[in-house]
């Protein structure tokens, strides 16, 4: 369903990139409504503009806090052109139809980065902007919305190519983008109000200063031990992300060191899971972070008490277990809150160059399960492959994980080549006395050549799981076919840097 754009409401903080779109709207004789600085910008270009206050009958008031919050504005956005009663009311109250809403939001996150003065930060909480964006997005059947300057060029091209019209699919796409913009804006505001800035003893190294801003109590309760350090927090985050990714109903234990999994296992009970996880790499476990998906019992506490570790994370603790574990005054004991996985953010970010880099979290473990080897994988292999793929996802790239009977027996991580990661994983398995015959292998990314499957086959590996996507996938697949090996392609890469 095409929609002819006859009118537009424009109120933006950032004016850069707007002029070509304004020129197009002028050429197509679109009536433009605006206010404040945007109105001045438009008129300075020699483009006719209708002040919003001539529609509402009210000027901008309260120091600019209230400009567009008025029934005649929102009626023009939310009015349903296909409902006769809406059209009659709009006519009765002299509400103009608004076909295009171009609104961005006050720079709240930028202001938070630039100042700690709360008065300035609060004034950058946009009220009218999100309301107009949501209203226009809700009524996408009749209204188009642009909530980001990154879409100015795209919409300009559409209007020029389609004689001033936008399709229903285009309006729906813009609406989905608009809701995403508002969601991220609200999350940033919520994070600001919920933050608790904690000055840490030091950063990653003693000469570095560090603070943490956030609400840890929504994820876990600290039952015992010293204050969490910078490195503790980083490793606890890695452990928490891993345990949240384990859907298996068996007892699960993992040991984290420098954000990598150095030991992990599934078992019928917690003590066995601990013993099998520790056996995977007892050297690296020293000073690590331990995580379980279950209650800690006294027998488990007694066994763990024999080694030095920094942090233990579990869903709960028996009283007897707590008494044993609290014998070390600095040992940190964390109890996961009910519903802790709901705190798992949809986004992750890091500082790079002179800005922030954001991306969606790496959710999901595989997009497909495509068996391309010589034979179907056995039930044991499937169980091990699923576990290995999950563990490999939580290792630094390049990463290889070896699993046998739901126990990680070797891993290679943080290597600059995949074959080095494999060599490291096999060496680890040999170091701690594991037989790799009939073990399985997971890779966080595709095999660029068949050398990895060849070397793994020589070590007795029986099945592989990897995303695929190499132009030479057929080489690794053919090797598996020729040597009676199983191979699963997942269609989902898990780089981690």
Answer whether residue 110 shows pLDDT above 90.
Answer: no
C-alpha 408/C-alpha 257 separation (Å) is 15
**297 carries an active-site annotation:** no
**497 carries an active-site annotation:** no
Average pLDDT over residues 212-223: 85
Q: 30 near 53, Cβ under 8 Å?
A: no
Reported as type and span, the H/E element at residue 241 is: helix 230-244
Where are any strands of DSSP class E within 162-275?
Answer: 165-166, 196-199, 211-214, 220-224, 251-257, 260-267
Answer whether residue 67 shows pLDDT above 70.
Answer: no
Q: Does residue 203 sit in helix, strand or coil?
A: coil
DSSP letter assigned to residue 463: E
C-alpha 148/C-alpha 175 separation (Å) is 11
Report the pLDDT value the prediction gives residue 463, as an integer from 0 to 100. Answer: 98
Answer whether residue 325 shows pLDDT above 80.
Answer: yes
pLDDT band at 14 (very low <50, low <70, confident <90, very high): confident
Q: Which residues sit opposite 358 in a β-bridge?
A: 349
What is the radius of gyration, based on Cα positions, of the chain? 29
C-alpha 397/C-alpha 469 separation (Å) is 17
Q: Which residues sit opposite 351 in a β-bridge?
A: 356
- 51 sits in the region (left: phi over 0; alpha: psi -120 to 50; else beta) called beta
Q: 3-state SS of 388-450?
A: HHHHHHCCCCCCEEEEECCEEEEEECCCCCHHHHHHHHHHHHHHCCCCCCCCEEEECCCCCCC
pLDDT band at 413 (very low <50, low <70, confident <90, very high): very high
Report the pLDDT value the prediction gives residue 322, as an integer from 0 to 100. Answer: 93
Which residue would you say has higher pLDDT here, 473 or 197?
A: 473
Average pLDDT over residues 468-494: 95
Q: 277 near 284, Cβ under 8 Å?
A: no
DSSP letter assigned to residue 329: T
Question: Residue 249: phi, psi to the nearest 5?
Answer: -80, -10
DSSP letter assigned to residue 326: T
Average pLDDT over residues 107-131: 84
pLDDT band at 137 (very low <50, low <70, confident <90, very high): very high
- Which of 6, 15, 149, 258 is flagged as catalytic? 258
Answer whether residue 244 shows pLDDT above 70.
Answer: yes
Alpha helices in 268-327 (DSSP H): 270-280, 298-304, 319-325
Measured CA to CA in angstroms, residue 239 lies from 32, 217, 346 at distances of 53, 16, 17
Measured CA to CA in angstroms, residue 238 lies from 221, 235, 242 at distances of 17, 5, 6
Average pLDDT over residues 118-136: 88
Q: 143 near 171, Cβ under 8 Å?
A: yes
Average pLDDT over residues 351-374: 89
Give me the chain's average pLDDT, please: 91
pLDDT band at 261 (very low <50, low <70, confident <90, very high): very high
Measured CA to CA in angstroms, residue 273 lies from 277, 304, 394 at distances of 6, 11, 18
Among residues 49, 147, 57, the alpha carbon closest in space to that of 100 is found at 147
C-alpha 410/C-alpha 160 separation (Å) is 59
Q: Does residue 236 sit in helix, strand or coil?
A: helix
Tokens 């996961």, residue located: 336
Which residue would you say has higher pLDDT here, 471 or 81?
A: 471
Among residues 288, 286, 266, the alpha carbon closest in space to that of 277 is found at 266
- Which of 6, 138, 297, 328 is flagged as catalytic? 138
CB-count burial class (<10 Å; 0-12, 13-18, 19+) for 26: middle
Q: At what angle do helices 451-458 and 473-482 cross, to 10 degrees?
A: 30
C-alpha 241/C-alpha 231 separation (Å) is 16
Tokens of 100: 């295009």
pLDDT band at 340 (very low <50, low <70, confident <90, very high): confident
């Amino acid at each position: 369903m095409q929609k002819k754009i006859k009118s537009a409401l424009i109120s933006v903080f950032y004016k850069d990139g707007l002029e070509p779109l304004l020129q197009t709207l002028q050429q197509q004789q679109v009536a433009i409504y605006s206010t404040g600085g945007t109105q001045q910008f438009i008129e300075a270009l020699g483009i006719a503009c209708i002040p919003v206050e001539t529609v509402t009958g009210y000027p901008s008031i309260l120091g600019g806090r209230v400009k567009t919050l008025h029934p005649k504005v929102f009626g023009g956005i939310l009015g349903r052109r296909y409902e006769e009663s809406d059209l009659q009311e709009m006519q009765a109250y002299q509400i103009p139809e608004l076909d295009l809403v171009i609104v961005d939001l006050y720079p709240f996150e930028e202001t938070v980065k630039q100042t700690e003065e709360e008065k300035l930060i609060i004034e950058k909480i946009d009220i009218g902007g999100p309301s107009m964006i949501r209203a226009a997005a809700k009524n996408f059947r009749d209204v188009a919305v642009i909530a980001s300057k990154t879409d100015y060029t795209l919409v300009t091209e559409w209007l020029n190519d389609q004689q001033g019209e936008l399709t229903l699919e285009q309006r729906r796409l813009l609406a989905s983008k608009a809701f995403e913009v508002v969601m991220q804006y609200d999350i940033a505001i919520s994070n600001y109000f919920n933050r608790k800035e904690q000055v840490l003893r030091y950063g990653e190294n003693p000469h570095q200063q560090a603070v943490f801003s956030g609400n840890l109590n929504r994820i876990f309760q600290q039952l015992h031990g010293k204050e969490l350090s910078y490195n503790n927090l980083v490793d606890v985050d890695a452990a928490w992300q891993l345990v949240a990714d384990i859907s298996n109903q068996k007892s699960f234990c993992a040991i984290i060191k420098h954000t990598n999994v150095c030991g992990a296992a599934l078992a019928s009970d917690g003590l066995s899971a601990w013993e099998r996880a520790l056996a995977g790499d007892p050297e690296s476990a020293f000073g690590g972070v331990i995580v379980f998906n279950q209650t800690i019992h006294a027998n488990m506490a007694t066994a763990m008490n024999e080694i030095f570790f920094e942090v233990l994370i579990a869903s709960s603790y028996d009283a007897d277990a707590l008494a044993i574990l609290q014998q070390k005054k600095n040992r940190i004991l964390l109890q996961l809150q009910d519903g802790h996985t709901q705190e798992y953010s949809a986004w992750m970010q890091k500082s790079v160059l002179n800005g922030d880099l954001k991306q969606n979290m790496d959710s999901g473990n595989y997009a497909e399960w495509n068996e391309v080897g010589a034979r179907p994988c056995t039930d044991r292999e499937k169980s091990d492959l699923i576990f290995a793929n999950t563990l490999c996802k939580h290792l630094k790239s390049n990463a290889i994980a070896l699993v046998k009977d739901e126990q990680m027996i070797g891993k290679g991580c943080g290597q600059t080549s995949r074959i080095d990661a494999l060599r490291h994983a096999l060496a680890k398995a040999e170091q701690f006395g594991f037989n790799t015959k009939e073990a399985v292998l997971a890779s966080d990314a595709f095999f660029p050549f068949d050398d990895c499957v060849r070397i793994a086959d020589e070590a007795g590996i029986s099945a592989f799981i990897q995303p695929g996507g190499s132009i030479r996938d057929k080489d690794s697949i053919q090797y598996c076919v020729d040597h009676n090996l199983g191979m699963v392609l997942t269609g989902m890469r898990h780089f981690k840097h």
